[in-house]
Amino acid sequence: MTVIIVLLIVVFSLLVIARSAGGSSRKQTNVGGGGRPGNGSSRQKSVPLFRGTPPEALGIPAEHPARKAAERLEAALSGDFEARVKDRVMKPALGIREEEWQWRWFELKRYFLMCGLLRSVPMYSEKVDDVWHEMLMFTREYEQFCKTFCGRLIHHAPHAPGAQPEQGERAWFDWVYGELFPLAWSSERLWGRFYKTRLPRQRIEEFELWDRNELLRQRFNTEAIEAHPDLAQAADYLLDRGSKLAVYARENKGRPYKRRDNTWDSDTVLMTGAMSGVFFASSLEPEHIFEQEMNQAREEGRQRDDSGSSGSYYACSSGDNGSNDGSRCGGGSDSGGSSGGDSGGGGSSCSSGGGSSCGSGCGSS
């Protein structure tokens, strides 16, 4: 009798162990799948931090007024100079892959183009700023590049401890960036999410209330613009766009999102400014409405990406379609990391309040 009881206990134990093993196997098969077969593997795929190879001419399409300035900027940077900076950046940080280096360097060049156009440009990416720091180690080559491109040294100017950036600087940065460059997934990985901060009403009204010369003096790099026709052409484009957008925002103030033409201002050829209309108009609304409308606009942009429509929120890199001319291209984006970026989605990690620890300004050397 005792033997039978022992045997029953052993058999029961084996059944429990077998059932537990089978359950664990099923759970591992469906991790992240919500209980639906086949979803586990797709949910577990890691999203690449950086995609493809950055396009030439800073990704600015050939028809864009800023294209010539971008080409001249890239011509002012020799391949040898880039290689020496790359060597300094990648040696101490072995975790940096080739794709990330390419995008850091690419975004720093975009930043320099903005410096050539604007009076001051805060730095909102710690990773891009790290490349700038290493670039400054080559004093002679850096000065030569700056003078060739915009005639003056682009100063790396740390902010005083505890200093707060002017309200709306990040929003101004986002608008100019979006007008010059087609937005890309990898760009948000470095700068943080664009269009999170409202553009101050004063900035919008300036386009209607101030004359062109006053706007240039207050907001733009007048010395560089006067010295270089390609920069002047790009600045004129920004001024014209800002004036039209300010009128659009005023005329649509208080009008529900669905009753506005939120794509009237985007150029499907240039692939820039796709978010500018809703950004200006929503900036005049209360904060909660601004957030709702910008989120809705981003989602609609992603849907256009998925359907292959032009004028979408994200542009592709050359690695997405095999082209490297910065022209039109389709392709989608993953929504899982849109708020990523080393700046925490709104500023450098080395400061508070959505600002940055350093910025730039062109001045005499």
Residues 344-356 have pLDDT tens digits of 333 333 333 344 4
Write down the pLDDT at residue 47: 47
pTM value? 0.76
Over range 150-166, report the average pLDDT.
78
Coil vs helix vs strand at 118: strand
> 308 CB contacts (<8 Å, ≥6 apart)?
330
What is the pLDDT confidence band of residue 40, given thresholds at 50, 70 and 90?
Answer: very low
User: What is the reported pLDDT for 43?
Assistant: 36
Q: What is the mean pLDDT of residues 195-216?
A: 96
For residue 286, the surrounding DSSP H or E stretch is none
Please name which of 175, 176, 178 lies closest in space to residue 187, comparing C-alpha atoms.
178
Total Cβ atoms within 10 A of residue 13: 10
Structure token digits, residue 172: 């101004």
More reliable by pLDDT, 263 or 141? 141
Containing H/E element for 166?
none
- pLDDT number for residue 279: 95
CA-closest candidate to residue 326, choices 148, 66, 127: 66
pLDDT of residue 2: 63
Mean pLDDT, the chain, as a whole number?
77
pLDDT over 70 (residue 10)? no
CA-to-CA separations, 253 to 102, 249, 361, in angstroms, rounded:
41, 6, 34
Rg (CA), the chain: 25
**pLDDT surpassing 80 at residue 223:** yes
- What is the enclosing helix (H) or strand (E) of 58? none
- Separation of alpha carbons 188 and 191, rounded Å: 5
Dihedral sign (CA 146, 147, 153, 154): negative
pLDDT at 192 over 90: yes
pLDDT at residue 329 greater than cutoff 80 = no
Q: In the structure, what pLDDT confidence band is assigned to residue 335 with cuts at 50, 70 and 90? A: very low
**In the prediction, which pLDDT does 301 show?**
78
Q: Which pLDDT tens digit goes with each residue over 267-307?
A: 555 678 989 999 999 999 999 999 999 999 888 877 776 66
Q: Please count the other Cβ atoms lying within 10 Å of the Cβ belonging to residue 31.
A: 11
What pLDDT sits at residue 211? 94
| pLDDT, average across residues 13-35 | 47
Per-residue confidence band for 226, with pLDDT thresholds at 50, 70 and 90: very high
Q: Highest mean pLDDT range out of 22-31, 310-319, 353-362?
A: 353-362
**Looking at residue 316, what is its pLDDT?**
41
Structure tokens given for 324: 């490297």
